[in-house]
């Protein structure tokens, strides 16, 4: 499979497109005035504790306080109950935290909508091949590394490095140096690592360089945290262009093209240090056409904002994103098939499964997702559709958990959400419909005006009434509803006049007593 990364940089924003076989699969957008916060470490203070929710609000210097749940506090999340004492409860959050207390926290989810950032006290620092977790005592291996021999080799590499430090300490005869080395060993052996997918096949020397880099970075972060006052940022994650080189680069990537010379040089310097084997695949793009016009990326981004996704067969998806969950409905549309209805439905569902996996990545849809496949009678067809969905989701960088296909043809899955969806980044709530996606009809608004006129006349004395509304509503009142207006005037025995307010939406109106 051919993969390519395009990086578009302007003073206002950076956009990264991941393209597979000429088709856009993922988009990452970072705006200079609103950078993502995931990965940042802050020194904050506890502003409020909620024992009933087993959570706390932490002031980290942002517009909204961050949310810290008990499951994300190391002291509480790691509690294990003694055997045969299931009735005992772990310590309550108010026994670990106190209001006003200073605390180091890391953002694990960006602020979404009206919610503040989700925080954790289990800090982690990523590098090219590893993630260092100071309060984690084990070595974890990415599940995407499937070869057991390779998994064991990587685990042994890290263990040998740590054991090698210990052996150097034991063999040293200088007491002063010995004590210093013991302290260093204690620092290096504290904490654990998660081996990332990119580490598959890399040499011991490269892993060791990553370990040393992470320890230096952690010690520097700790030193910074001791000098500053809360609330303040202690560690800020890399900008998007550098994170792309750290997190998305793998052997399948044929090349990275960047349309900013300044960013190109910075990325090259970064690559020399962390991915020198990839230097030959990084290019400066100076073409006449905008870089994201390649492979019709701009058009694909626009289409990713639509609810309807057309399938090649003639079927289509309807994707409805709400705050609670995302629902995806599959329809055969114009696809009639060649054999029978069951075969038509089966082929539509198979095509939909592939398209859905791509849309989840492209739109960055997270949380609970409900997929309503077209009902299939054949049990084998149901299994094949679910298997196809799982197969295509294997390439997703976010963690996805899929449930079984129910008898109603519904599949429930959860996809880890750490940043806002593409729609939330690029769009804002419609001021006309307030996010409903629909407007009251002209007829409905006219009838509301009639009821409001009756209400006003019964409560207040007036010689006549003025209705202020949009052009559309005034035209409807004077044309289609003119007979109803005349009846209303006769009933209340008062004249009604109308005035157009160009700035009013279809649903807005005022009744003025005169």
> What's 280's domain CATH number?
3.30.420.60
| Phi-psi domain of 84 (left: phi exceeds 0; alpha: psi -120 through 50; beta: other) | left
- As given in the structure block, the two tokens for residue 434 are 């307030």
399-427: pLDDT as tens digits = 899 987 777 778 999 998 878 899 999 99
Q: Check residue 77 and give its pLDDT.
A: 56
* Residues 194, 214 within the same domain: yes
With a CB cutoff of 8 Å and minimum separation 6, the contacts of 91 are: 75, 76, 79
With a CB cutoff of 8 Å and minimum separation 6, the contacts of 253 are: 3, 4, 5, 278, 281
* Residues 204, 316 within the same domain: no
Q: Check residue 34 and give its pLDDT.
A: 80
* Residue 80 domain flag: no
Q: What angle do CA 455, 456, 460 make, to 5 degrees?
A: 125
Last residue of a domain, one of 394, 426, 458: 426
Q: Check residue 155 and give its pLDDT.
A: 92
Domain count across the chain? 4
Pick from 443, 439, 440: which is nearest to 484 by CA?
A: 443
* Residues 409, 390 within the same domain: yes
Last residue of a domain, one of 211, 230, 249: 230
* Residues 132, 221 within the same domain: yes
* Residues 324, 414 within the same domain: yes
* Residue 104 domain flag: no
* Residue 381 domain flag: yes
Pick from 140, 164, 168: which is nearest to 154 by CA?
A: 140
Last residue of a domain, one of 251, 272, 298: 298
* Residue 159 domain flag: yes
Q: Check residue 249 and give its pLDDT.
A: 85
* Residues 337, 370 within the same domain: yes
φ and ψ of 95, to 5 deg:
-90, -10
* Residues 145, 224 within the same domain: yes
Domain hosting 376: range is: 304-426
Q: Check residue 178 and give its pLDDT.
A: 33
- As given in the structure block, the two tokens for residue 384 are 């094949």
* Residues 386, 337 within the same domain: yes
Q: Check residue 337 and give its pLDDT.
A: 58
Q: What is the CATH number of the domain that holds 447?
A: 3.40.1260.20
* Residues 269, 358 within the same domain: no
* Residue 90 domain flag: no
Number of H helices, E strands in the chain: 13, 24
Q: Check residue 202 and give its pLDDT.
A: 86
* Residues 455, 346 within the same domain: no
* Residue 81 domain flag: no
Q: Is the dihedral of CA 298, 300, 301, 307 positive or negative?
A: positive
- As given in the structure block, the two tokens for residue 31 are 């705006």
- Report the first-to-last Cα separation within the chain, whole angstroms: 73
Residue ranges for the chain with pLDDT beneath 50: 79-83, 85-88, 166-189
φ and ψ of 373, to 5 deg:
-70, 155
* Residues 314, 383 within the same domain: yes
CA distance 458 to 55: 52
- Determine how many CB atoms are found less than 10 A away from the CB of residue 243: 19
Q: Check residue 43 and give its pLDDT.
A: 95
CA distance 355 to 334: 17
Q: Structure pTM?
A: 0.78
* Residue 93 domain flag: no
* Residue 75 domain flag: no
* Residues 308, 290 within the same domain: no
The answer to whether the bond into 231 is cis (omega within 30° of 0) is: yes
């Amino acid at each position: 499979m051919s993969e390519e990364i395009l990086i578009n940089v302007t003073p206002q924003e950076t956009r990264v497109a991941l393209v597979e076989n000429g088709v856009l699969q993922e988009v990452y957008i970072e705006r200079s005035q609103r950078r993502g916060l995931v990965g940042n470490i802050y020194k904050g203070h506890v502003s409020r504790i909620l024992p009933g929710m087993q959570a706390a609000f932490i002031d980290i210097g942002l517009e909204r306080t961050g949310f810290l749940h008990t499951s994300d506090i190391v002291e509480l999340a790691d509690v294990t109950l003694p055997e045969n004492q299931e009735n005992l409860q772990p310590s309550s959050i108010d026994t670990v935290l106190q209001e006003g207390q200073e605390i180091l926290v890391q953002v694990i989810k960006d602020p979404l909508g009206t919610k503040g950032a989700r925080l954790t006290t289990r800090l982690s620092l990523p590098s090219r091949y590893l993630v260092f977790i100071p309060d984690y005592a084990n070595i974890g291996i990415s599940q995407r590394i499937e070869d057991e021999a390779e998994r064991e080799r990587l685990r042994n590499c890290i263990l040998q490095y740590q054991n090698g430090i210990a052996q150097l300490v034991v063999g040293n005869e200088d007491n002063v140096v010995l004590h210093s080395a013991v302290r260093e060993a204690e620092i290096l052996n504290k904490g654990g690592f998660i081996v990332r997918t990119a580490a598959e096949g890399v040499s011991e020397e490269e892993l060791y360089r990553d370990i040393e880099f992470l320890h230096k970075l952690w010690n520097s972060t700790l030193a910074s945290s001791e000098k500053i006052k809360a609330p303040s940022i202690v560690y800020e994650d890399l900008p998007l262009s550098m994170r792309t080189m750290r997190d998305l680069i793998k052997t399948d990537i044929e090349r990275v093209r960047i349309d900013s010379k300044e960013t190109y040089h910075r990325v090259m310097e970064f690559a020399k240090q962390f991915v020198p084997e990839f230097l030959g695949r990084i290019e400066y793009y100076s073409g006449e056409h905008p870089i994201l016009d390649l492979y019709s990326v701009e058009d694909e981004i626009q289409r990713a904002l639509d609810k309807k996704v057309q399938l090649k067969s003639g079927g289509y998806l309807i994707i409805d994103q709400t705050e609670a969950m995302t629902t995806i409905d599959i329809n055969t549309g114009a696809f009639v098939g060649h054999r029978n209805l069951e075969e038509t439905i089966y082929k539509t569902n198979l095509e939909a499964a592939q398209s859905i996996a791509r849309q989840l990545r492209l739109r960055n849809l997270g949380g609970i997702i409900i997929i309503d496949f077209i009902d299939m009678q054949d049990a084998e067809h149901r299994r094949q559709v679910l298997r196809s969905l799982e197969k295509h989701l294997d390439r997703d960088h976010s963690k996805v958990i899929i449930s079984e296909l129910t008898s109603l043809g519904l599949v429930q899955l959860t996809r880890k959400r750490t940043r806002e969806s593409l729609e939330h980044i690029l769009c804002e709530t419609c001021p006309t419909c307030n996010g409903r996606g629909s407007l009251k009809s002209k007829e409905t608004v006219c009838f509301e005006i009639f009821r409001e006129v009756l209400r006003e006349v019964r409560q207040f004395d007036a010689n006549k009434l003025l209705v202020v509304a949009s052009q559309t509503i005034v035209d409807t009142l004077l044309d289609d509803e003119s007979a109803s207006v005349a009846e209303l005037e006769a009933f209340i025995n008062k004249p009604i006049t109308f005035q157009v307010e160009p700035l009013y939406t279809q649903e807005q109106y005022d009744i003025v007593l005169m």
